[in-house]
């Protein structure tokens, strides 16, 4: 069997949307699964709407998501150039070929593709005029996802506009032929174009590639398709929010595909091993921001501390919490505490602020809740003498300080946990209290406790 060749063929007319990323990903997965090639082809024939800035975003996002292309812009290959704007001569050649078959004609300055079949005229209520129609034999598409789809075109269509620009249907088919694509994997919105495309393949005497049309991605609520204006729709957004690219990629895989082994969080190698086009769902997928965040959290948790620290440090530097003078061991112990429960790296600065500055905010809601039980300042005042006697700062040492204070004041140990946490961190939750005390260290804990009581 010849090598499988798939392609991602974006039109750089807007920011890079998760639907496009998912299309690229399914092509890439299929190529990697089958040992085939993944090609990037830029469909930039629409000069008015294309924009270099958008193109750069596509390259950056694909790289960020770890989808390396085997041929395409920046890399080259035997089938280049890979930008349609540089392939005018190829389209000329194919137009000549098609013209030689007698399947083209000129009308109103445009070049049309002629369907084969009996012609008749019919009143078109939309155009409000008689139009010429064709009884063409239906085209059968054995879509690898949708199954058998039959559709007949009933009107000739333009392949070169009267300004000389070839249209999408023509250049798309020509490139897939010239670049020897074996599989066309693309969004379901293109299914309705496929009968036109098959007509062109047949007229050009070229083998028809296998088609696989991927279901749409619906927005979180409601019936509509996810649009670029919807929150969470742009890949750039995840990049700037410090999502892990591996997690975003993992989540995108689940939009229309389910791993056979039932796991939802899994390494890319396992996804590549399991990915089959025939397992892609027919039903539309629904975007779920919470699930994306959950998967990101699972990936974060699974990172070795060293890797986590490598990713987290710049985030904290950016927030002005960490600098070159920050003690490396201290930073490592803070990060080790934060990694487990961290929702995402975008939350890290907020969650860990109190480890790096004494000037942290107090969460007034948490204060109100804690104060319902007893005045936290009084509890802390009672606790300070015991804190001053802390020695090893191990669990037993800290427990003893709290237990002794509790019995001396006719209170329960539980009455001191929340006030102590609040006094030294300003929040009502977080890592295990004993760990927070240990990492902050005795001096900081006492200084903060005293400041809290107004001493
Ligand atoms: N340029 C088309 C798009 O952006 C690609 C269509 C295809 O993959 O065949 O939707």
Q: What is the pTM of this model?
A: 0.92
CATH number of 303-352: 1.10.8
Atom of ligand 1 nearest to the CA of 7: 8
Counts of helices then strands in the chain (DSSP H, E) = 18, 13
What is the fold, at CATH topology level, of the domain defined by 5-217?
Answer: Rossmann fold (3.40.50)
CATH 1.10.10.350 fits 364-453, yes or no: yes
Round the average pLDDT of the chain to a whole number and report it. Answer: 95
Reply yes or no on whether the pLDDT at 171 is more than 70: yes
CATH number of 235-300: 1.10.1160.10
Determine if ligand 1 sits within 6 Å of the CB of residue 175: no
Percentage of the chain exceeding pLDDT 70: 100
> In a mutational test of the pocket of ligand 1, which residue from 43, 44, 51, 84 has the highest number of ligand atoms less than 8 Å from its CB?
43
Catalytic residue among 96, 107, 135, 228: 228
Each residue of 259-298: pLDDT tens digit?
A: 998 999 999 999 999 999 999 999 999 999 999 999 999 9
- Distance from the Cα of residue 49 to its chain's centroid: 24
Reply yes or no on whether the pLDDT at 53 is more than 90: no
* Rounded alpha-carbon distances, angstroms, from residue 354 to 189, 319, 363, 368, 452: 50, 13, 12, 20, 14
- Ligand 1 centroid from CA 403, angstroms: 68
Q: In whole angstroms, what is the distance from residue 255 CA to residue 234 CA? A: 15
What is the torsional sign of CA 275, 277, 282, 284? Answer: positive
Atom of ligand 1 nearest to the CA of 10: 4
Q: Please, which pLDDT band fits residue 45 given cuts at 50, 70 and 90?
A: confident
* Rounded alpha-carbon distances, angstroms, from residue 133 to 116, 118, 184: 11, 8, 29
Reply yes or no on whether the pLDDT at 219 is more than 80: yes
Q: In whole angstroms, what is the distance from residue 398 CA to residue 322 CA? A: 28
Mean pLDDT of 198-214: 98
- How would you class 181 by CB atoms within 10 Å of its CB: exposed for 0-12, middle for 13-18, buried for 19 or more? buried
Model pLDDT, residue 50: 75
Each residue of 250-261: pLDDT tens digit?
A: 999 999 999 998
> In a mutational test of the pocket of ligand 1, which residue from 6, 7, 10 has the highest number of ligand atoms less than 8 Å from its CB?
10
Determine if ligand 1 sits within 6 Å of the CB of residue 194: no
Determine if ligand 1 sits within 6 Å of the CB of residue 45: no
Reply yes or no on whether the pLDDT at 47 is more than 60: yes
Nearest one of 190, 189, 165 to 84, comparing CA atoms? 165
Q: In whole angstroms, what is the distance from residue 91 CA to residue 365 CA? A: 66
Active site residue 450: no
Domain layout of the chain by residue ranges? 5-217, 235-300, 303-352, 364-453
Reply yes or no on whether the pLDDT at 1 is more than 60: no
């Amino acid at each position: 069997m010849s090598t499988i060749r798939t392609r991602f063929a974006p039109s750089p007319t807007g920011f890079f949307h998760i639907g496009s990323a998912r299309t690229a990903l399914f092509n890439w997965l299929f190529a990697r699964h089958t040992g085939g090639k993944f090609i990037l082809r830029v469909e930039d024939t629409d000069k008015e709407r294309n924009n270099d800035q958008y193109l750069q975003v596509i390259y950056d996002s694909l790289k960020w998501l770890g989808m390396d292309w085997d041929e395409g812009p920046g890399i080259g290959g035997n089938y280049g150039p890979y930008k349609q704007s540089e392939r005018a001569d190829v389209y000329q050649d194919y137009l000549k070929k098609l013209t030689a078959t007698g399947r083209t004609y000129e009308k109103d300055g445009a070049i049309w593709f002629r369907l084969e079949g009996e012609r008749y005229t019919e009143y078109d209520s939309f155009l409000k005029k008689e139009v010429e129609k064709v009884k063409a034999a239906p085209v059968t598409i054995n879509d690898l996802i949708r199954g058998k789809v039959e559709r007949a075109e009933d009107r000739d269509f333009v392949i070169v506009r009267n300004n000389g620009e070839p249209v999408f249907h023509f250049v798309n088919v020509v490139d897939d032929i010239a670049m020897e694509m074996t599989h066309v994997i693309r969004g379901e919105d293109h299914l309705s174009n496929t009968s036109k495309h098959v007509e062109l393949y047949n007229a050009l005497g070229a083998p028809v590639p296998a088609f696989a049309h991927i279901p749409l991605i619906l927005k979180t609520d409601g019936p509509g398709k996810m649009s670029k204006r919807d929150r969470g729709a742009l890949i750039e957004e995840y990049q700037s929010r410090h999502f892990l690219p591996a997690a975003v990629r993992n989540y995108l895989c689940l939009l229309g595909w389910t791993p056979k082994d039932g796991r939802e969080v899994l390494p890319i190698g396992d996804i590549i091993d399991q990915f089959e086009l025939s397992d892609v769902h027919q039903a539309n997928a629904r975007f779920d921001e919470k699930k994306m965040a959950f998967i990101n959290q699972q990936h974060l948790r699974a990172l070795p501390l060293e890797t986590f620290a490598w990713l987290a440090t710049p985030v904290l530097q950016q927030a002005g919490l960490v600098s070159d003078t920050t003690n490396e061991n201290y930073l490592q112990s803070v990060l080790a505490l934060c990694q487990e429960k961290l929702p995402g790296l975008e939350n890290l600065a907020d969650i860990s602020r109190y480890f790096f500055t004494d000037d942290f905010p107090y969460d007034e809601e948490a204060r109100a809740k804690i104060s319902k039980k007893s005045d936290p300042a009084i509890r802390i005042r009672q606790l300070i003498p015991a804190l001053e006697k802390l020695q090893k700062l191990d669990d037993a040492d800290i427990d003893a300080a709290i237990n002794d204070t509790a019995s001396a004041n006719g209170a329960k140990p539980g009455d001191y946990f929340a006030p102590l946490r609040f006094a030294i961190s300003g929040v009502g939750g977080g890592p295990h209290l004993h760990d927070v005390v240990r990492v902050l260290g005795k001096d900081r804990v006492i200084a903060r406790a005293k400041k809290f009581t107004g001493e």
